[in-house]
A = this chain, B = another copy of it.
Amino acid sequence: MTARPEPRFARVASLIADPSRARMLALLLSGEARSAGELAHAVSITPQTASTHLSQLLDAGLVKLRAQGRHKYFMLADADVARLLETLALVAERDSVAARWETPMYRPLKYARTCYCHLAGELGVKQHLALIERGVLVEAEDGALALRETSREWLQAAHFDDAKIATLYRESTKKRFAYGCMDWSMRRDHLAGAFATTLLEHYLDKGWLRKTKTQRALASTPAGAAMFAKLF
């Protein structure tokens, strides 16, 4: 009778539905690449089982693969997948969000964490807001965010050297250079895209942020705190 589009998203959901796969995907949300064995160990399953899971995720395009010798490194396929996982978490956690984020265990995660390869949490949202408010990034007609000529000042204030700045301007014409990504702890956008990735790497490089023992949490150093107060 009526052509009812069999929802293809059920397949994707079923891939995320399995606890082992979900845990692997959650690990990969940090943006780092992990080998099959690492992932298996991290979620407490045998390598065989992990292998089947990973090949399924690969087939569905949720993860991508970089083979290196006898190792296979997996990462999330792209930022859309990361966005999907964060959106899923937003819905899954919303009842308990307010309470949960204030517990000591989650506090650092709320302040700053990695989402895919960029900065999320309070600091990530603040960054997103500040860059738009100060006109460092402007929304182009296609919804993406772009650098302006005057953005150079901010980049210099953030201690980027001239070579790096030139590179950024060159990359800024590419698709998905910078755009908003929903933050599930803040329910607001934070900054995503290649530019966001570069910024995060830069902050880590300069020692303004450091990774913590907790999977995805980031802490700002004293120098970083001072810097961020100026920049955001």
Q: Which of A135-194 contact B (CB under 8 A)?
A: 141-143, 182, 188-189
Contact with B along A1-35 (1 / 0, CB 8 A): 01111111111111111110011011000000000
Complex CA gap A12/B91 in Å reads 8
Number of A residues near B (Cβ < 8 Å) is: 50
Q: How far is the CB of A184 from chain B (nearest CB, A)?
A: 9
List B contacts of A143 (CB < 8 A): 129, 188-189
| Stoichiometry, copies per complex | 2
Q: Which of A76-84, A201-209, A218-226 contacts B (4 or more CB under 8 A)?
A: A76-84
Could you tell me if B23 and A9 are in contact, using CB atoms closer than 8 angstroms?
A: no
Given contacts A2-B213, A84-B88, A91-B84, contact A22 B13 (CB under 8 A): yes
Binding site for B on A (CB under 8 A): 2-19, 22-23, 25-26, 42, 61-62, 80-81, 83-85, 87-95, 105, 129, 141-143, 182, 188-189, 213-215
